[in-house]
């Protein structure tokens, strides 16, 4: 099987590229390869952590996975039982149904919820849009979901602006769960929360995968967060997946120098779990995705770069069972 693919995925991105063309006076001046030939599958009940620095293409990949971002090439397929749907070509009613199955949670719930709305109304709108009507049916659906995300029913009459940061994020998770999704992209969903709240929300997200069988693509720039929640971790650099494997393997035996640097930069949430990783001095900053280097895109920053790294692109190869890396060191 090609790197990144698994059997029976709920979402399969196959060889997906997303290019943005910048234009000046209608003439294309530069091309941003935000995602460049990525293959990544997520299974039911599986949490895949997608980790990388700012600008590496994580959000673009996540949006492509749920059809919010058109892909330039490649395929995105959603599977439910024996039925597979091409996310790109779904239209009309199919598209609306697909939208319900594929959901996204953002870093800042304020960006997706009107602070001046009451919580009940925030939750009512998506339910009604998907045909769940009547006060009683809505209330009982909300009650179940509130129990799961740890919210008391009495906040239903509160305004969004009255909620704490943690409550707001719980409401945004509840809103998504009410739609019974099969797949959720969580884009930096815990980045703005303090450590203890972070832990709570991660537990909720994990239980959504374990108990409801939802597949989750968990986007974060913090390796420590990815380690806690993910079954597998994918590391992204300038539009490419550079390492992919089971969380334990990535955490205990990171292969790519970039992964090693990310692990080092992200102390464990629980200090007792803090492990000692090889010290990797990565130089400089991530270049812009419109001006990426030849060969291995990481080579100008890599302390172990060899001559061939600057002109030959390393493939994502399986080095150990299910552990893939694209690096000439292996």
Site residues (vs Mg ion, CB under 5 A)? 59
Q: Is 56 in the site for ligand ATP (CB under 6 A)?
A: yes
Exactly one of 133, 137, 278, 288 binds ligand ATP (CB under 6 A); that residue is: 288
DSSP 197-256: HHHHHHHHHHHHHHHH--EEEEEES-HHHHHHH-SEEEEEETTEEEEEEEHHHHHHS--S
DSSP state of 118: B
Q: How many angstroms separate the CA atoms of 154 and 131, rounded?
A: 24
* Shortest Å, Cβ 82 to Mg ion: 34
Question: With CB cut-offs between 5 and 8 Å by kind, which of ligand ATP, Mg ion, none does residue 274 bind?
Answer: none
Q: Is 32 in the site for ligand ATP (CB under 6 A)?
A: yes
Question: With CB cut-offs between 5 and 8 Å by kind, which of Mg ion, ligand ATP, none does residue 20 bind?
Answer: ligand ATP
* Shortest Å, Cβ 54 to Mg ion: 7
- 132 versus 265: smaller Cβ distance to Mg ion: 265
Q: How many angstroms separate the CA atoms of 18 and 56, rounded?
A: 12
Q: Which residue is nearest to Mg ion (CB)?
A: 59
Binding-site size for ligand ATP (CB under 6 A) equals: 14
* E strand residue ranges, the chain: 9-24, 27-43, 47-51, 73-80, 83-86, 102-105, 183-187, 215-220, 232-237, 240-246, 317-320, 323-325
Q: How many angstroms separate the CA atoms of 241 and 19, rounded?
A: 16
- 127 versus 236: smaller Cβ distance to ligand ATP: 236
- 49 versus 155: smaller Cβ distance to ligand ATP: 49
Q: Is 49 in the site for ligand ATP (CB under 6 A)?
A: no
Q: Is 297 in the site for ligand ATP (CB under 6 A)?
A: no
Question: With CB cut-offs between 5 and 8 Å by kind, which of Mg ion, ligand ATP, none does residue 60 bind?
Answer: ligand ATP
- Looking only at residues 209 through 268 of this chain, which bind ligand ATP when binding is defined by CB under 6 A? 221
Closest listed residue to residue 9, CA positions, set 225, 175, 232, 221: 232
- 59 versus 167: smaller Cβ distance to ligand ATP: 59
DSSP state of 311: T
Sign of the C-alpha dihedral computed for residues 303, 60, 126 and 100 taken in this order: negative
- 59 versus 277: smaller Cβ distance to Mg ion: 59
DSSP state of 309: G
Q: Is 55 in the site for ligand ATP (CB under 6 A)?
A: yes
User: Do residues 42 and 183 make contact, with C-beta atoms less than 8 angstroms apart?
Assistant: yes
Residues lying near ligand ATP in the complex (CB under 6 A): 20, 32, 34, 52, 54-60, 221, 288-289
């Amino acid at each position: 099987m090609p790197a990144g693919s698994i059997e029976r995925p709920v979402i399969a991105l196959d060889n997906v590229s997303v290019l943005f063309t910048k234009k000046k006076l209608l003439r294309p001046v530069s091309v941003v390869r935000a995602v460049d030939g990525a293959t990544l599958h997520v299974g039911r009940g599986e949490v895949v952590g997608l980790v990388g620095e700012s600008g590496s293409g994580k959000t673009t990949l996540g949006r492509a996975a749920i059809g919010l971002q058109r892909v330039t090439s490649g395929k995105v397929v959603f599977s439910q039982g024996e039925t597979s749907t091409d996310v790109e070509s779904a239209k009309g009613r199919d598209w609306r149904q697909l939208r319900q199955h594929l959901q996204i949670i953002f870093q800042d719930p304020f960006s997706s919820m009107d602070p001046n709305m009451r919580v009940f109304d925030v939750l009512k709108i998506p339910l009604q849009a998907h045909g769940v009507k009547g006060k009683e049916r809505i209330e009982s659906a909300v009650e179940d979901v509130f129990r799961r995300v740890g919210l008391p029913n009495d906040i239903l009459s509160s305004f969004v602006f009255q909620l704490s940061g943690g409550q707001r994020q719980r409401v945004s998770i509840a809103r998504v769960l009410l739609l019974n999704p099969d797949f959720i992209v969580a884009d930096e969903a815990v980045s703005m929360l303090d450590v203890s709240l972070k832990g709570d929300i991660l537990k909720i997200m994990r239980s959504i995968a374990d108990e409801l069988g939802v597949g989750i693509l968990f986007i974060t720039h913090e390796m420590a967060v990815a380690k806690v929640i993910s079954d597998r971790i994918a590391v992204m650099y300038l539009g490419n997946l550079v390492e992919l494997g089971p969380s334990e393997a990535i955490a205990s035996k990171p292969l790519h120098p970039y992964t090693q640097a990310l692990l080092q930069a992200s102390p464990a949430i629980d200090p007792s779990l803090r492990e000692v990783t090889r010290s990797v001095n990565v130089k400089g900053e991530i270049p812009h995705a419109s001006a990426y280097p030849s060969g291995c895109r990481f080579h100008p920053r890599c302390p172990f770069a060899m001559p061939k790294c600057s002109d030959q692109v390393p493939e994502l190869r399986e080095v150990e069972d299910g552990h893939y890396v694209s690096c000439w060191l292996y």
